[in-house]
Structure 1
Amino acid sequence: MFQPAEHAPEWAMEGLKKERLLEDRHDSGLDSMKDEDYEQMVKELQTIRLEQQEASHCAEPWKLQLTDDGDSFLHLAIIHEEKALTMEMVRQVKGDLAFINFQNNLQQTPLHLAVITNQPEIAQALLEAGCDPELRDFRGNTPLHLACEQGCLASVGVLTQSRGTHHLHSILQATNYNGHTCLHLASIHGYLGIVELLVSLGADVNAQEPCNGRTALHLAVDLQNSDLVSLLLKCGADVNRVTYQGYSPYQLTWGRPSTRIQQQLGQLTLENLQRLPESEDEGSCDTESELTEDELPYDDCVLGGQRLTL
């Protein structure tokens, strides 16, 4: 049900509820309405004055309307791909940063939804109107994270073009709540064109995940994506960068099927980073223990008054 930020209007709509788990909802309402509810929503949207408003933005009641999911009219117009209406609304609210950057219950801005619904032209209009591309959703994803995860090169281009050097660097280096940069996500999903574009724009090809220190090259080995390995090497990926456990990308090739990747990395990796860490102690595994009597394991176990021999 639509609710204003402070009180319910007389013309509030009903029927926008649908049972679903919050964590399983990625589209912020996409396909969440029955046909009659959607038609009613469109009628309400069409009541918005599309000509230039003489009244101040604060006096426009439609700006205060929210669904139970926290979606504004602008969110809904984007979700349901009402492009003409969306563009007109964006034109009217240009410069109203509080409205255009409003985040729903999943912390999604209209820009997040434009990317999710694969509408790069809407994303462009939102950016020009002042939408902040660095705001994060409930998983810590910026709109660029989502574009890289979905493999939408057009959206990636829109989100990275005409950004100031410092601003672009901040977006490229941002990590979501899983510790992934945009380059990590593009690598995980194998979008080579996006990987190459991000690196050309200044993304750190050797950025490490905070959880275990894997770089995009480590991820490429995990995924056994030889084309991605070749591209990352071409882009300057460091073959000798190790995870927090001390593993080089080459060491992760052991036990995996791609001999091509192993050969690619073996020619470039330092010799001491080609051996698995545990292999260094193989010689000592078969030798007898040389512990002194004082260093022998504690064996003073007694059962029924009798000392047990371990």
Structure 2
Amino acid sequence: MSSLLKSLHKGKADASTPPTRMRNDSTSGIGLEDPGAVDLEHALFTNAYKAITQGQPQLLSMFIKKHPHIVTITGPVKSEPVAMVDRDTGKQVVQPGAVHQMTLLDCAVKQGSLDMSMAVLEAMSGGRDFLTCISKKYDEKMSAVHLAVRQDMVSVVEKIVAIAKEGGLGDGEISEIFVSFMDGGGDDLAFVCCASGSIHCLKYLVNNLQFDVNRVSPSGATCLHVAAARSTVPVTELLLEAGGKVDALDNDKLTPFFLAARYNNIPVMSALEKAGAAIDSPALNGAEPIYAATQQGHVQAIELLLELNASPDSIGCGMAPLHVASMMGHPSAVKVLLEKGANVNLQGGDAKNTPAHCAAQTGNVGCLQALIEGGADIKMCGSTGATPLHLASFFGKKAAAEALLASGALPDAKDENGKTPFDFSEEGYRVGGSGPDGKKIGKLLKKACGEEPGKKKKKKDKKEKKEKEDKKKPEPAKKSNLSRME
């Protein structure tokens, strides 16, 4: 028997001994690799991996018992292909699965199998070296520890801590090492818990490993920011009980409540408000939570904010919620804001545009109709004298122009430079701002002004032709006064 095989049976692998081959101990049922056809370590890893993926805990335990060292080596594992939508073409494409170098613990935890994970961990030992080994990220993003936490496998986390203690590490050392475990994005284990709603693991990290829930990430976010955007009320309440700062600010001055509004997390919004969160704390750009909810068209969040007395006319960032809803194309949000008393003709920004200007510019006819029904003055001008029809004409929004004209917009209105909507349509077509409907809008506006395309020119040509014919005709002889007297 070779020196490597002897060392394997003793549970120790001599890294200086080159891979060898061994006879095929065939195991029926799961299509195992033939160790005689490939190098030994690859075959051992592949067969153990197949036992994991096909749910054979007894077979996995047999492999590990016979070759304990395989729990520390890595092997190639191909991920499943991923279907994605190409942003440019809009077509669905399939990304081929990538090949990762993973440990058996990575594989077992990723599979979500507690039995398999425990079978692997039972064969592992050590203190700091053990924790370093299992914390290695197989795809530069996640380690086995991160995967266990993400799936709320608290028994796996507890087992890892127990092994580390058996290896001679104290509670403080273990806590320090666990806190240092970061994923590929720089987030610690508590952040992963909050993002995935893993409340049991989060409770263990906070109560047993002294995780600081107010630790700040590179983006300035705390655990509460993550929970507000992506988690549940129990996770949020646990963080608050652990001393989480309800109005903590990230680098963009966003509070957890702001993020809950942005992501329409209604239960968490309510929990944070009850805990004393400010409902109108502005971001770095001056936008308030109601702005964030409106930008996404989250009607439920808007309604809750208005019930909590948020201002429907907040204009801290230069635009009110009604401007934003009209520009982004959220007619339901427009209607809710109007029902709750938003000023339909409020002017915002340096351009002093109304919500109707915003809807006309972006061609959101549903929003425009809702504004008109809500009493919008479609003849109002911005700072340069342009009306909503001017903007619809420049940007080639034919349906919006038609809706405005049908509601009484003036087709011959002039801005401060004396330009009409028709002039705007011509300019938009010339610079490429109006798109394919640019010329159509020009014809529409001429017709609205009583100048149907072609008719004016035909009338002029007919008049000139008649004048020429009249010149060619001889003048009739004039009767003298004498003949008249006779």
Scaled by the length of structure 2, what TM-score is found? 0.44
Match of 1:98 among 176, 185, 190: 176
**1:160/1:17 CA distance change after superposition, 3 Å:** farther
Match of 2:154 among 78, 83, 87: 83
Match of 2:383 among 281, 284, 289: 281
Match of 1:227? 300
Match of 1:296? none
The 8 Å contact of residues 196 and 235 in structure 1, kept in 2 or not, is answered as no
Q: In 1, distance between residues paired with 2:273 and 2:256?
A: 10
Please say if 1:45 is aligned against 2:121. Answer: yes
Match of 2:257 among 183, 187, 190: 183
The 8 Å contact of residues 144 and 156 in structure 1, kept in 2 or not, is answered as yes
* Structure 2 residues not aligned, in runs of 5+: 1-13, 16-68, 81-99, 109-115, 354-380, 387-412, 419-486
Please say if 1:15 is aligned against 2:83. Answer: no
Q: In 2, distance between residues paired with 1:136 and 1:233?
A: 31
Larger radius of gyration: 2
Q: CA deviation at 1:243?
A: 3.3
- Supply the AA of the counterpart residue of 1:228: A
The 8 Å contact of residues 148 and 156 in structure 2, kept in 1 or not, is answered as yes
Match of 1:126? 205
Secondary structure (helix, strand or coil) at the match of 1:173 reads coil
The 8 Å contact of residues 90 and 126 in structure 1, kept in 2 or not, is answered as no
Task: Summarize deviations over 1:22-49 as a string: whole Å, max 9, x none.
Answer: xxxxxxxxx9958796258755522456
The 8 Å contact of residues 134 and 142 in structure 1, kept in 2 or not, is answered as yes
Please say if 1:249 is aligned against 2:321. Answer: yes
**1:230/1:125 CA distance change after superposition, 3 Å:** same
Q: In 2, distance between residues paired with 1:228 and 1:110?
A: 29
Match of 1:107? 186
- Supply the AA of the counterpart residue of 2:154: K
Match of 1:64? 132
**1:38/1:19 CA distance change after superposition, 3 Å:** closer
Q: CA deviation at 1:254?
A: 4.1
The 8 Å contact of residues 108 and 137 in structure 1, kept in 2 or not, is answered as yes
Match of 2:310 among 234, 237, 254: 237
Secondary structure (helix, strand or coil) at the match of 1:184 reads helix
RMSD of aligned alpha carbons:
4.0
Q: CA deviation at 1:123?
A: 0.3
Match of 1:5? none
**1:257/1:73 CA distance change after superposition, 3 Å:** closer
Q: In 1, distance between residues paired with 2:221 and 2:236?
A: 14
The 8 Å contact of residues 87 and 122 in structure 1, kept in 2 or not, is answered as no
Q: In 2, distance between residues paired with 1:168 and 1:264?
A: 34
Bigger helix fraction: 2
Task: Summarize deviations over 1:122-145 as a string: whole Å, max 9, x none.
Answer: 101111121122335566543333
The 8 Å contact of residues 101 and 131 in structure 1, kept in 2 or not, is answered as yes
Task: Summarize deviations over 1:89-145 as a string: whole Å, max 9, x none.
Answer: 457564444212112433222212223443201101111121122335566543333
Scaled by the length of structure 1, what TM-score is found? 0.64
**1:286/1:71 CA distance change after superposition, 3 Å:** closer
Q: In 1, distance between residues paired with 2:206 and 2:325?
A: 43
Which one scores higher on RCO, CA 8 angstroms, separation ≥ 6? 1
Q: In 2, distance between residues paired with 1:32 and 1:233?
A: 52
Match of 1:158 among 238, 255, 261: 238
- Supply the AA of the counterpart residue of 2:248: Q
The 8 Å contact of residues 224 and 261 in structure 1, kept in 2 or not, is answered as no
Number of positions where the alignment pairs a residue of Structure 1 with one of Structure 2: 254
**1:74/1:184 CA distance change after superposition, 3 Å:** same
Secondary structure (helix, strand or coil) at the match of 1:281 reads coil
Task: Summarize deviations over 1:241-279 as a string: whole Å, max 9, x none.
Answer: 3233x2222443446523532324435x6x9x8234133
Match of 2:336? 261
The 8 Å contact of residues 184 and 216 in structure 1, kept in 2 or not, is answered as yes
- Supply the AA of the counterpart residue of 1:261: V
Q: In 2, distance between residues paired with 1:231 and 1:239?
A: 12
Task: Summarize deviations over 1:149-188 as a string: whole Å, max 9, x none.
Answer: 224222222222241xxx524xx32326x66432222212
Q: CA deviation at 1:198?
A: 1.2
**1:32/1:219 CA distance change after superposition, 3 Å:** farther
